[in-house]
Amino acid sequence: MNITIIETPSQDSLAPISNTVKIGDFPVAGLPLKEALHLRISQKMGVNPNAEIEVRDDFWPSDTLLETMIKAGENVRVMSENSEVLLSYSKGNRSANWKGISPDAASVLIRHPWDLLKINETLIAEIREDFIEGEIKSGANIEGHIRLGKGSVLLPGTYIEGNAIIGTNCKIGPNCYIRGNTSVGDGCHIGQAVEIKNSVIMEKVGIGHLSYIGDSIICRRTNLGAGTITANLRHDGKNQKSFIGNDLVDTGRRKLGVIIGEDVHTGIHTSIYPGRKIWPGMSTRPGEIVSKDIVPS
């Protein structure tokens, strides 16, 4: 079976991630998206050695969609609303008839940063066993499954509830609370009394003590000052909305925190409204309240 991952151009709607990270290189469950996609398809569709598969790196097919393609009696293309080919599956004879189908509701066409959170959630929730190369100190507790990279340490009082992935050479704790479906990249420091829930933390991120990060994406080399707090829930319980350009978009998510680009610094006691975004290289002052996206002037 031959699988080709097609790289798609960066999109403004994915900012502030797309300013510095290609879609296929974004980490989901500890792997670049393109590698996770290749692995997923090879595991789910690797039944025909003559098959040829092409898939765009901004499309994440559901298990149900892949099963439908396998069972089809002809070659299949998954088509977008704009008649673009998102995924094609040839059973070995590309000159044979092709059937066009639409993606199902469970598949993800990546158009916004929170779409990547959804894929990360799906993959981490599927972890069924531990893989531990780092050190777990006495007094650290884990309920769920964890992948802990070489050189990483969980200090006393750290409590991991649900599945989580922690990369290499990380220092977690003491007294941290890491909740389910969280992925932490290599070389991160998560300090005293930090809580992280359902988030993607990329490489070399520092999160100062007494901070809360929920349903968020934090890109590389960002440092969050002590007491940085992200809100992720509206008082009225409605879906979070976020600006894409000048348009306020319904994210479809009841809970969504902050999307932070690379090399950002927050001052101590920064408070961030739900669904806000901070562009690469930006900073906040101590005690600042982030009620709008922070973009370069």
Annotated active-site residue in 38, 145, 189, 209: 209
The 3-state DSSP class for residue 100 equals strand
Tell me the β-bridge partners of 34. none
CA contacts within 13 A on the Cβ side of 92: 8
β strands within 50-168, DSSP E:
52-56, 59-60, 75-79, 85-90, 98-101, 108-109, 131-132, 135-136, 141-143, 146-148, 153-154, 159-161, 164-166
Active site residue 209: yes
- Pairing assessment for the beta strands 59-60 and 108-109 based on DSSP bridges: antiparallel
Segment (H or E) for 42: helix 33-45
CA dist 212 and 224 (Å) reads 10
Q: 193-201 long-range contacts, Cβ below 8 Å, gap at least 24? A: 198/117, 198/121, 198/255, 199/117, 199/257, 200/27, 200/28, 200/116, 200/117, 200/120
Q: Which residues contact 236 (CB under 8 A, 6 or more apart)?
A: none
Residues identified as active-site: 209
